[in-house]
Structure 1
Amino acid sequence: MNDEALLRYSRQIMLEAIDIEGQERLLASRALVVGAGGLGSPVALYLAAAGVGHLILADADEVELSNLQRQIAHGMADLGRNKAESARRAALALNPGCDIQVMQEHLDDERLNRVVAGVDLVLDCTDRFSSRYAINAACQRAGVPLVSGAAIRFSGQLAVFDPHDPVSPCYACLYPPEEGGDEELRCAESGVVAPLVGLIGCFQALEAVKLLSGAGTPHHGLSTFDGLSGQWRHFQVPRDPACPVCAER
């Protein structure tokens, strides 16, 4: 790191759990963020600001006026612009030294598998079961940790699925594929309070920084947040020995 980088990341470097070695690991790391909306906005901004050296932002959608209530990486000038490109511009405005690649597409299985195999961490910031299942399966195949977030109405959830941990479940253990489907609640149909997606996205970014830098202990199990009461609940989620995705891990 040069003097400018030492100054930029000084507040993290002074943390014993990160230090110079952890910051250098962040700078050398590669992370894929799938979804550049409500969750992906704070994730992209904080990971770039924290010094994650290489980010891939994937989103095929364009910025709409109704997004601006909660998707803080975008502004009025971004209306009609691809969300991944808009988030890239916002992240580079914070840290021009971050290498950010944009994928303006819905990733099919083959493309997703190839991209996931080339990163150190994946953050699922999508809002569809079909996308979450595909991302989870790709992470399990590649042995790449997955940080998953979700938010709807006043309710949020956070989970980390780490194939390197022999007791860690995967997303399909938590939500068996035969029970899922795209009939689930989505913000477009059910609404969401603006700060909630920021809160969950920030926790996703925090877990990513911990995993990539080696600081602390990764989140275990499933945590849910009730925005109306301000309360977190934590659930231990065991691996499903019959899981169709990770049973042979």
Structure 2
Amino acid sequence: MTDEQLLRYSRHILLDALGIEGQERILATHALIVGAGGLGSPAALYLASAGIGKITLVDDDTVDFTNLQRQILHTQARVGTAKAESGKQALQAINPEIDIVPLQQRLSGEALDALVATADIVLDCTDNFATRHAINRACVHHKKPLVSGAAIRFDGQISVYDLRQDDSPCYHCLFPEGEDVEEVRCAVMGVFAPLTGIVGTMQAAEALKLAAGIGESLSGRLLLLDALEMEWRSIRFKKDAGCAVCGPTEDGQLPGYLPRSDADRGSADGACRLA
């Protein structure tokens, strides 16, 4: 680490659990953030400020005036700008020494699979179940840790799915694809602005812990927040032995993995399905 890095990250280095070694691991990490909206904004800002070495920021949308209530990566001056590019400008202003790769595109199929393969950690900050399940399949396929958050109205949730651990459940174990689930979005139902900040910041915290190799992640545990009452609930869940995505077959392959093309856009604040 350079003298400037030792100074910039000194408050991390002072933490006994993290230290220079942990910060060096953070600096060597590539984080893929899918969605540069309400959740992706605080997550990306904290990862950049903490020194994640490379951030690939993916979003196919442009900044809209209605985003400014909560999507803190963006400014009124950048309304109409691609969110990925607007996000890059914000992140570089905070930490110009890290590598920011903005991608304005819809991720699906082989493109999503290939991008997940290059990352060390994936943050799902998207707003629909098709994309969430597509990201989960790719993360299971490549055994990449997935930090998933969601926020709608006053309700938030966050968990980690880390298939580097044999007993870790995946997103499909908890929320099976194909079930009759009502998908709600901020454009229709609204979202409390600080809620996206709370959940997105927690996603950054979980990602940094994974990058540094410290603490215990939320793998196997779903945190639920009722921000109106400001009450947290924690629900433990286990791997589904019959999961169509992460359950092994006789030949040891993953039965449910297909780089499907039905994944939609990755943006906004996260479709929220609460237990």
The separation in 2 between residues aligned to 1:215 and 1:93, in whole angstroms, is: 28
What amino acid is aligned across from residue 59 of structure 2 in structure 1? D
The separation in 1 between residues aligned to 2:228 and 2:24, in whole angstroms, is: 39
Report deviation, 1:108: 1.6
CA contact (8 A) 1:151 1:200 kept: yes
The separation in 1 between residues aligned to 2:18 and 2:166, in whole angstroms, is: 25
What amino acid is aligned across from residue 199 of structure 1 in structure 2? I
2:45 matches 1:71: no
What amino acid is aligned across from residue 131 of structure 1 in structure 2? T
Report deviation, 1:215: 1.5
The separation in 2 between residues aligned to 1:215 and 1:236, in whole angstroms, is: 21
Map of 1:88 onto structure 2: 88
Give runs of aligned pairs for residues 80-159 of structure 1, distance below 5 A: 80-159=80-159
Map of 1:40 onto structure 2: 40
Report deviation, 1:180: 5.2
Secondary structure in 2 matching 1:131: helix
Secondary structure in 2 matching 1:102: strand
Q: Normalization by structure 1: what TM-score?
A: 0.98
Question: Which structure has more RCO (C-alpha within 8 Å, separation ≥ 6)?
Answer: 2
2:191 matches 1:192: yes
2:8 matches 1:8: yes
**What are the superposed Cα offsets for residues 180-212 of structure 1, whole Å, 9 maximum, x if unpaired?**
56x501111110000000000000000000000
The separation in 1 between residues aligned to 2:165 and 2:190, in whole angstroms, is: 35
What amino acid is aligned across from residue 95 of structure 1 in structure 2? N
Q: Which protein has the bigger helix share?
A: 1
CA contact (8 A) 1:148 1:159 kept: yes
Secondary structure in 2 matching 1:209: helix
Map of 1:61 onto structure 2: 61
The separation in 2 between residues aligned to 1:60 and 1:209, in whole angstroms, is: 25
Report deviation, 1:214: 0.9
The separation in 2 between residues aligned to 1:9 and 1:111, in whole angstroms, is: 34
CA contact (8 A) 1:222 1:234 kept: yes
Q: Percent identity?
A: 54
CA contact (8 A) 1:157 1:223 kept: yes
**What are the superposed Cα offsets for residues 35-94 of structure 1, whole Å, 9 maximum, x if unpaired?**
000000001110000000000000000000000000001001110001111111101100
CA contact (8 A) 1:129 1:180 kept: no
The separation in 1 between residues aligned to 2:218 and 2:161, in whole angstroms, is: 9
The separation in 2 between residues aligned to 1:109 and 1:146, in whole angstroms, is: 17
CA contact (8 A) 1:27 1:51 kept: yes
Map of 2:268 onto structure 1: none
Q: May I ask how many residue pairs the two structures share in their alignment?
A: 248
Map of 1:206 onto structure 2: 205
CA contact (8 A) 1:62 1:83 kept: yes
Report deviation, 1:168: 1.3
Report deviation, 1:169: 0.8
Report deviation, 1:237: 1.1
CA contact (8 A) 1:65 1:76 kept: yes
| Poorly superposed stretches of 4+, deviation over 6 Å | none
What amino acid is aligned across from residue 40 of structure 1 in structure 2? G
2:218 matches 1:219: yes
Report deviation, 1:139: 0.2
- Tell me how large the CA RMSD over aligned residues is: 0.9
The separation in 1 between residues aligned to 2:236 and 2:41, in whole angstroms, is: 28
Secondary structure in 1 matching 2:163: coil
CA contact (8 A) 1:26 1:213 kept: yes
What amino acid is aligned across from residue 195 of structure 1 in structure 2? P
